[in-house]
Amino acid sequence: MLGIRSRGRGLALALGTGLASCLGPPPSVPPGPPASAPPPSATPDDTGDGEPGAPYFSGAAALARVEVLMGWPRGLGDPRRERSIDALAQMLEMAGAEAVERQPLRADDPATGQSYDLVNLIAHLRPDAPRRFVLATHFDTRPWADEEEDPAAHELPVPGANDGTSGVAVLLVLLPTLAEALPPEVGVTVILFDGEELGRPGYGGYCMGSRHFAAQAAEQRPAWLERAELGIVLDMVGDRDLHLPKEPLSIGNAPALVDRLWAVARRRGHAQFEDRRRPVGILDDHELLTEAGVPSVLLIDKEYAPWHTRGDVLAELSAESLAAVGDTVLHALLELASEPPLGAATGRPHGEPRRTCGMLPRWAG
């Protein structure tokens, strides 16, 4: 087997060049505010087991991927967004996806009624494999910095280095590693949801891409979804001071998966996974994925200070945090791939839809 350490870093270095040759250079990006600290250097980190060819996740490669992604604006209403979505689809293919589906939808700003054309990207590794794991995140960045202290900044876009980019970067680095390390009977589907940020406090409207995905699954379930055993959703997982307590709705959706992730993190020395439970659940894309029949958990740092502000920039992220998340997910999935499906172990059918979305608390993140 190829050394996953070298392959992950090689892909990160080649990504910008490959995209530029096919799609042209990234569109220009307006500068964000001055960073509160110098941009973090992509220094090598070590989350492997020290053996040649051992499964390895590079936080440095993920941080470099964030930097590349920041050159492709994905904010709702941004005229450069369509090219950026094309770039995302190509990144998924470069990471090893054998098929990338586009699931279009249209959704409205709940406050103004303005309509947006959105699209979910659904990428499959080994689409015909009898077992399937689902990994997801949202790729859109918030068009309104409504948590800024200055009201004049509320209509400015959020850069979204952590909220909208960190999860994408982790999954892009993780996918080729899983392609090499998972047994052939286990496939992976990566979903990049759109429209998660199309919502406003007091109005609702969040998670529009995953809502559409769940509604479509209720009407006609694709064959791959019937084989999906579990889902892991990433949201804001790269900040330097990362705190990942257990999210209550995740515990209700897939308690065994929550236990496994935190146990793996503990064994591998990732203290960012904290042995405490959030007091309030968060309605995020994991709830809609669960509604679609895939028991799913959410990894999120809701304590991230620059949330929904112009300060959500690259300097707030660290390779160490990205490595903690990527390494934990990688090794948890490798363990689960060698065992019976979690649904069989718990007695809960993993393909059974759950229609409780209307009863859930409003999105809190």
Residue 16: pLDDT band with limits 50, 70, 90: low
Whether 132 maps to a domain, the answer reads: yes
Q: What is the mean pLDDT of residues 206-233?
A: 96
Domain with 316 in it: 4-24+41-359
- How high is the pLDDT of residue 54? 83
Question: Mean pLDDT over residues 254-279, rounded?
Answer: 98
CATH number at 251 reads 3.40.630.10
Confidence at residue 37, expressed as pLDDT on a 0 to 100 scale:
32
Residue 35 falls within a domain, yes or no?
Answer: no
Amino acid in position 213: F
361 pLDDT more than 60: no
Residue 21 has pLDDT above 70, yes or no: no
| Mean pLDDT, the chain, whole residue set | 86
Q: Give domain status of residue 79, yes or no.
A: yes
Domain membership of residue 214 (yes or no) is yes
141: nearest Cα among 59, 226, 32: 32
Q: Is residue 329 part of a domain?
A: yes
pLDDT tens digits for range 311-338: 999 999 999 999 999 999 999 999 999 9
Distance between CA 62 and CA 166 in Å, rounded?
A: 8
The pLDDT score that the predictor gives to residue 186 is: 98
The reply to whether 97 falls in a domain is yes
pLDDT attached to residue 318: 99
Tally of domains in the chain = 1
Long-range contacts of 344-353 (CB under 8 A, 24+ apart): 345/256, 346/255, 346/256, 348/295, 350/228, 350/229, 350/230, 350/293, 350/294, 350/295, 351/221, 351/225, 351/226, 351/227, 351/228, 351/293, 352/293, 353/217, 353/218, 353/291, 353/292, 353/293
Question: Would you say residue 29 lies in a domain?
Answer: no
Mean pLDDT within 346-363: 40
Q: Are 126 and 98 in contact (CB under 8 A)?
A: yes
User: First and final CA of the chain: distance in angstroms?
Assistant: 41
For residue 123, tell me if it sits in a domain.
Answer: yes
pTM: 0.86
pLDDT at 4: 36
